[in-house]
């Protein structure tokens, strides 16, 4: 039989008391509420509870205005709470209470510091990503022309090379047109100094469309002549040691001399056009004579066209003319499957752009949500611990009210204490932000430095954050503590009165653990999806393949290079191609199958590779014959299974010998073989219909397959040394660079990898803050039930039973949080996985696993205080009474 405990004092109907508080005279409401409580206690002693309740309600209603007579103005008004003396008094008491409860103060300050630091860092990241290209003076009128494939319901940032001339000749709404063609992996040389660089081809339209500050040269004629180049300040100093570089020469790929026609200031960090080298478009005829600058069949995302609309022109006017452009240059029949769109300059940072770096909108939203949740968890800790300690401050509140302090003064006092803790937390947040910023910048690949923490925008955000955090964390405890009636505040059983807030604390703890469980579940699911990416069967072999760029594709050089590379015992095979079996940069071509009653048009990805392409990348041939190096007339092709499905052929063998036409022209190719489907894109996208053909003029990459699937570091180094020696012998004036195919393919999932890492870090901090608060609440619970624990131990209760007694309430909260968090996490991950064509299935067991993990963490946190309280000598705990 357990110990007898005194029953809590009966309480009057709460709604009547609240009605009096809201509708009574504000100057006398608290005093009258206290008097009514004393009368209610007397009525209970002299009569029944029902009668006492009726008398309490009746008297409360009589005191509500306008039924009560107005009280005369107080000849001695309460002193103002915001005088200098009172403010000094508030801070003095705040500092005393801060040092009086060092443990709880440390938990509050630490939790708020972590939450505020997360908010500040995420603000810096989001501000950076959302400020791209805002420095452009004509940003409201600049658009990019994009290509939409209607049947595939897919839009591409690139377009046809003929679009630039069409805009100039057929669209009077265009003020200027700026076509850009990005080229990567070329060698730029000045004397003996050589560098591997990327650059863009452009014409004078780029300087009329976008803002550039000129150091030397003229924007009007800088790119009008062939063999000219414009450099940024940084690159002028890199190549010539000075910005006075106009008239000097740079050699491109040891083929063409380029004359510096101008030097411009470096671009800002938030530019979608980070081009240090801009080469004139007329130069392209000398470098690549076969490049068609007025093509309407096939496009590349590395060629993009930007247009500056005339003032007063709406983009809809230009869009309305695109149908005429399609009919004029592509034929009327193309209207059914081709359409052009305009993307505003402010949006291109969130899609494919020539800068090579795109922001992920969902990642930014996730970051913002995580920052808000972590900060809320920290604020909930403050609220929980403040209200949990209310009974310690109850007599202070009662005495203050008894000697004349009004509620407003008490609210200011508690808000001052909250503000002081938040201010100290802000100082800690600044230190944490300085320490964590380099890691965040590296994880998100954002050029952020410590100086970004001390800008006017960050300062303004920090001040707003400080105010909002103070209000979030301090308003509820201030209102609750200041609203305690003096009669209850001064009674010994005030802890029972404080119990009315227990449900609020339970709710906040449930919210904290719900957020933590959602983050844990999401982190587990995202990591499973990433593991799927790493180990998915792509339909080809990506292991132990080294890729090297080719500055020249002359047949005699390529043959000599391949022969030299194959002499290494570490090399199994080598292949020349346009790009790898799977790549983010694609060459799309419209193909037609005309053996049906209706012509079947197929948007096809073109893979150019030699006779060793299939063997090097491990692509399986299902039917027919592989290509030969002599098949260089576009007359023979290999197709994949997806292509066969689009043209209505079910068996691979039936496709061999069929003709496929290039676009709507007369040129055709014969299918000589069918390969098994392989992922030509990342796993975000479906497998495209694919054609493989031998086109030596488009060989820009060498793929080298090593003998071992898991080579040792020593064998890899030996192979690399041999490849570099052979490559340098073939291209003595070029810069050798290489990459591993599996690492290159992994870069396509950088956004998901960043999301996973950020959620893992956020999960750690969210769980840490929640456990800090739980630890504080467990300490409070143990202190509050010290006498009960002592009595139970005297009556024979075991340590285990007492631990269970103290832990079961917190365990219930974790279970409730698990029931709430599981469907939320399931829904969030289901929406996230919709972005992937190839994805995992959400396994039900992952949510119980997250719940068990969270329960273990919570029980370890509570268990420490529970064991400490259970092992306390009962004589000591009872002696304190």
357-372 pLDDT, tens digit each: 777 787 788 888 888 8
The helix/strand/coil state of 182 is strand
How far apart CA 278 and CA 232 sit, in angstroms, is 9
Beta bridge partners of 343: 144
Q: Which band of pLDDT confidence, cut at 50, 70 and 90, is reported for residue 440?
A: confident
CA 152 to chain centre: 28
Minimal CA–CA distance to 259: which of 272, 268, 271, 246?
246
- What integer pLDDT is reported at residue 186 of this predicted model? 85
Higher per-residue confidence, 494 vs 382: 382
- What integer pLDDT is reported at residue 732 of this predicted model? 85
Higher per-residue confidence, 430 vs 404: 430
The helix/strand/coil state of 836 is coil
Q: How many CA atoms lie within 13 A of 157 on its CB side?
A: 25
How far apart CA 587 and CA 149 sit, in angstroms, is 14
Q: With 80 as the cut, is the pLDDT of residue 164 above it?
A: yes
The residue whose two tokens read 């509620």 is 407
- What integer pLDDT is reported at residue 307 of this predicted model? 95
The DSSP output letter for 159 is B
- What integer pLDDT is reported at residue 611 of this predicted model? 92
- What integer pLDDT is reported at residue 500 of this predicted model? 43
Report the sign of the C-alpha dihedral through residues 475, 476, 477, 479, in that order: positive
Token readout for 788 is 């009960």
Integer CA distances (angstroms), 290 to 284, 285, 551, 770, in order: 9, 8, 16, 64
- What integer pLDDT is reported at residue 5 of this predicted model? 43
The DSSP output letter for 688 is P
Mean of pLDDT values over 562-570: 92
Mean of pLDDT values over 579-590: 81
838-859 pLDDT, tens digit each: 888 888 888 888 888 888 888 7
Beta bridge partners of 41: none
- What integer pLDDT is reported at residue 402 of this predicted model? 65
How far apart CA 635 and CA 628 sit, in angstroms, is 12
Query: Could you tell me where the DSSP H helices lie in 576-712?
Result: 613-617, 641-647, 652-655
Range in 383-387, 487-491, 503-507, 789-793 the model is least confident about: 487-491
| Percentage of the residues of the chain whose pLDDT score is greater than 70 | 86
The residue whose two tokens read 């030509």 is 680
Element (H, E) at 556: helix 555-565
Higher per-residue confidence, 757 vs 424: 424
DSSP assignment of 46-113 equals HS-HHHHHHHHHHHHHHTSTTTSPPPPPPSSPPPPTTSHHHHHHHHHHHHHHHHHTHHHHHHHHHHHH
Range in 22-31, 146-155, 424-433 the model is least confident about: 22-31
How far apart CA 411 and CA 423 sit, in angstroms, is 18
Q: With 50 as the cut, is the pLDDT of residue 501 above it?
A: no
- What integer pLDDT is reported at residue 498 of this predicted model? 40
How far apart CA 281 and CA 202 sit, in angstroms, is 5
Between helices 361-388 and 102-129, what is the axis angle to 10°? Answer: 160
Residue by residue, what is the 3-state secondary structure of 811-824?
HHHHHHHHHHHHHH
Beta bridge partners of 339: 148
Q: How many CA atoms lie within 13 A of 551 on its CB side?
A: 26
- What integer pLDDT is reported at residue 305 of this predicted model? 94
519-554 pLDDT, tens digit each: 888 888 888 888 888 888 888 888 889 999 888 888
Q: Is the peptide bond before 66 cis (omega within 30 degrees of 0)?
A: yes
How far apart CA 545 and CA 716 sit, in angstroms, is 10
Q: Using CA atoms in the order 723, 726, 727, 733, what is the torsion angle rounded to 10 degrees? A: 140
Beta bridge partners of 547: 703, 739
Other C-beta atoms lying within 10 Å of the C-beta of residue 79: 12
**CB contact at 8 A, 861 and 774:** yes
Q: Which of the given ranges, 30-39, 233-242, 385-394, 776-785, has the highest pLDDT on average?
A: 233-242
CA 107 to chain centre: 29
Q: How many CA atoms lie within 13 A of 231 on its CB side?
A: 24
Mean of per-residue pLDDT scores for the chain: 83
How are beta strands 690-693 and 636-640 bridged, if at all? antiparallel
Mean of pLDDT values over 12-28: 73
How far apart CA 599 and CA 589 sit, in angstroms, is 16
Higher per-residue confidence, 699 vs 871: 699
12: region left, alpha or beta (phi > 0 left; psi from -120 to 50 alpha): beta
**CB contact at 8 A, 330 and 132:** no
104-154 pLDDT, tens digit each: 778 888 888 988 998 999 899 889 988 999 999 999 999 999 988 887 778
Other C-beta atoms lying within 10 Å of the C-beta of residue 247: 10
- What integer pLDDT is reported at residue 342 of this predicted model? 93
Integer CA distances (angstroms), 164 to 149, 171, 247, 825, in order: 19, 10, 29, 47
Q: Which band of pLDDT confidence, cut at 50, 70 and 90, is reported for residue 788?
A: confident
How far apart CA 615 and CA 675 sit, in angstroms, is 12
Between helices 799-833 and 846-870, what is the axis angle to 10°? Answer: 150
Other C-beta atoms lying within 10 Å of the C-beta of residue 631: 20
**CB contact at 8 A, 604 and 650:** no
DSSP assignment of 460-479 equals HHHHHHHHHHHHHHHHHHHH
- What integer pLDDT is reported at residue 748 of this predicted model? 77
Minimal CA–CA distance to 390: which of 487, 479, 470?
479
184-213 pLDDT, tens digit each: 878 899 988 889 889 999 999 999 999 999
**CB contact at 8 A, 409 and 94:** no
Report the sign of the C-alpha dihedral through residues 552, 557, 563, 565, in that order: negative
**CB contact at 8 A, 684 and 559:** no
Range in 338-347, 394-403, 738-747, 749-758 the model is least confident about: 394-403
Beta bridge partners of 194: 189
How far apart CA 777 and CA 388 sit, in angstroms, is 7
**CB contact at 8 A, 441 and 447:** yes
- What integer pLDDT is reported at residue 214 of this predicted model? 94
How far apart CA 815 and CA 831 sit, in angstroms, is 25
Element (H, E) at 826: helix 799-833
Q: How many CA atoms lie within 13 A of 511 on its CB side?
A: 17
How far apart CA 345 and CA 266 sit, in angstroms, is 20
Q: With 80 as the cut, is the pLDDT of residue 66 above it?
A: no
Element (H, E) at 593: strand 587-593
Q: Which band of pLDDT confidence, cut at 50, 70 and 90, is reported for residue 73?
A: very low
| CB-count exposure of residue 530 (10 Å: 0-12, 13-18, 19+) | middle
Q: How many CA atoms lie within 13 A of 471 on its CB side?
A: 6
- Any idea where the domains of the chain sit in the sequence? 6-77, 84-123+361-530+751-879, 139-350, 552-733
**CB contact at 8 A, 161 and 303:** yes
- What integer pLDDT is reported at residue 875 of this predicted model? 58
């Amino acid at each position: 039989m357990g110990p007898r405990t005194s029953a809590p004092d009966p309480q009057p109907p709460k709604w009547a008391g609240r009605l009096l508080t809201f509708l009574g005279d504000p100057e006398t409401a608290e005093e009258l509420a206290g008097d009514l409580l004393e009368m209610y206690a007397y009525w209970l002693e002299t009569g029944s509870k029902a009668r006492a309740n009726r008398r309490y309600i009746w008297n409360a209603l009589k005191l509500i205005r306008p039924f009560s007579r107005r009280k005369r103005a107080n000849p001695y008004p309460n002193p103002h709470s915001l005088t200098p003396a009172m403010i000094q008094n508030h801070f003095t008491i705040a500092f005393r209470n801060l040092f009086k409860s060092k443990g709880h103060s440390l938990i509050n300050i630490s939790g708020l510091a972590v939450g505020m630091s997360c908010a500040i860092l995420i603000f810096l990241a989001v501000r950076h990503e959302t400020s791209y290209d805002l420095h452009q003076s004509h940003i409201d009128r600049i658009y990019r022309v994009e290509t939409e494939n209607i049947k595939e319901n897919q839009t591409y940032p690139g377009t046809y090379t003929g679009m630039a001339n069409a805009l100039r000749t057929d669209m009077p709404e265009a003020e200027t047109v700026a076509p850009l063609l990005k080229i990567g992996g070329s060698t730029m040389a000045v004397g003996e100094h050589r560098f591997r660089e990327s650059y863009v081809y452009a014409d004078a339209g780029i300087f009329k469309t976008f803002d550039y500050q000129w150091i030397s040269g003229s924007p009007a004629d800088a790119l009008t002549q062939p063999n000219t180049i414009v450099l940024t300040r940084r690159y002028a100093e890199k190549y010539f040691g000075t910005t006075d570089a106009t008239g000097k020469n740079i050699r491109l790929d040891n083929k063409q001399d380029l004359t510096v026609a101008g030097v411009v200031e470096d671009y800002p960090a938030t530019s979608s056009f980070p081009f240090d080298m801009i080469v004139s478009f007329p130069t392209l005829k000398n470098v690549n004579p076969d490049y068609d600058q007025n093509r309407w069949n096939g496009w590349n995302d590395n060629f993009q066209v930007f247009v500056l609309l005339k003032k007063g022109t709406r983009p809809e006017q230009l869009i309305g003319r695109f149908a005429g452009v399609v009919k004029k240059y592509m034929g009327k029949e193309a209207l059914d499957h081709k359409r052009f769109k305009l993307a505003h300059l402010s949006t291109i940072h969130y899609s494919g752009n020539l800068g090579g770096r795109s922001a992920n909108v969902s990642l930014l939203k996730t970051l913002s949500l995580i920052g808000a949740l972590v900060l809320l968890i920290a604020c909930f800790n403050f609220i929980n611990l403040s209200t949990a300690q209310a009974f310690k401050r109850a007599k202070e509140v009662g005495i203050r009210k008894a000697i004349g302090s009004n509620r407003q003064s008490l609210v200011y006092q508690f808000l001052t204490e909250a503000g002081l803790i938040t201010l100290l937390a802000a100082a800690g947040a600044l230190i944490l932000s300085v320490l964590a910023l380099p890691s965040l910048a590296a994880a998100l690949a954002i050029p952020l430095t410590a100086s970004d923490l001390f800008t006017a925008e960050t300062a303004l955000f920090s001040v707003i954050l400080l105010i909002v955090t103070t209000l979030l964390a301090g308003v509820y405890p201030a209102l609750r503590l200041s609203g305690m009636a003096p009669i209850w505040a001064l009674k010994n059983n005030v802890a029972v009165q404080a119990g009315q807030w227990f449900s609020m604390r339970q709710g906040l703890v449930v919210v904290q653990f719900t957020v933590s469980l959602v983050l844990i579940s999401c982190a587990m699911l995202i990591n499973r999806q990433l593991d799927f990416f790493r180990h998915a069967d792509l339909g080809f072999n990506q292991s132990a393949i080294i890729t090297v760029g080719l500055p020249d594709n002359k047949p005699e050089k390529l043959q000599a290079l391949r022969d030299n590379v194959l002499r290494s015992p570490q090399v199994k095979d080598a292949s020349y191609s346009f790009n790898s079996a799977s790549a983010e940069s694609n060459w799309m071509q419209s193909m037609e199958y005309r053996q049906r009653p209706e012509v079947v048009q197929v948007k096809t990805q073109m893979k150019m590779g030699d006779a060793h392409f299939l063997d090097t990348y491990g692509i399986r041939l299902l039917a027919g014959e592989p290509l030969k190096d002599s098949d260089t007339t576009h007359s023979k092709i290999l197709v994949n299974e997806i292509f066969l499905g689009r043209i209505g052929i079910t068996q691979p063998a039936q496709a061999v010998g069929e003709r496929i036409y290039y676009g709507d022209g007369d040129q055709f190719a014969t299918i000589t073989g069918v390969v098994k489907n392989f992922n030509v894109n990342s796993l975000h996208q479906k497998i495209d219909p694919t054609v493989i053909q031998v086109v030596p003029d488009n060989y820009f990459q060498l793929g080298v397959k090593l003998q071992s699937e898991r080579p040792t570091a020593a064998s890899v180094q030996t192979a690399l040394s041999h490849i570099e020696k052979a490559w340098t012998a073939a291209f003595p004036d070029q810069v050798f660079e290489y990459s591993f195919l599996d690492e290159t393919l992994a870069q396509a999932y950088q956004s998901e990898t960043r999301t996973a890492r950020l959620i893992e870090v956020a999960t750690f901090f969210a769980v840490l803050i929640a456990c800090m608060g739980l630890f504080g609440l467990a300490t409070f619970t143990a202190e509050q039930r010290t006498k009960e624990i002592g009595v139970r131990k005297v009556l024979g209760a075991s340590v285990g039973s007492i631990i269970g007694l103290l832990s079961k309430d917190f365990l219930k909260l974790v279970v409730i949080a698990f029931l709430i968090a599981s469907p939320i996490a399931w829904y969030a991950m289901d929406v996230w996985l919709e972005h992937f064509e190839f994805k995992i299935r959400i396994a039900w067991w992952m949510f119980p696993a997250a719940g068990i993990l969270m329960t273990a963490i919570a029980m370890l946190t509570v268990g420490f205080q529970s064991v400490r309280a259970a092992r306390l000598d009962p004589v000591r705990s009872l002696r304190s009474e």
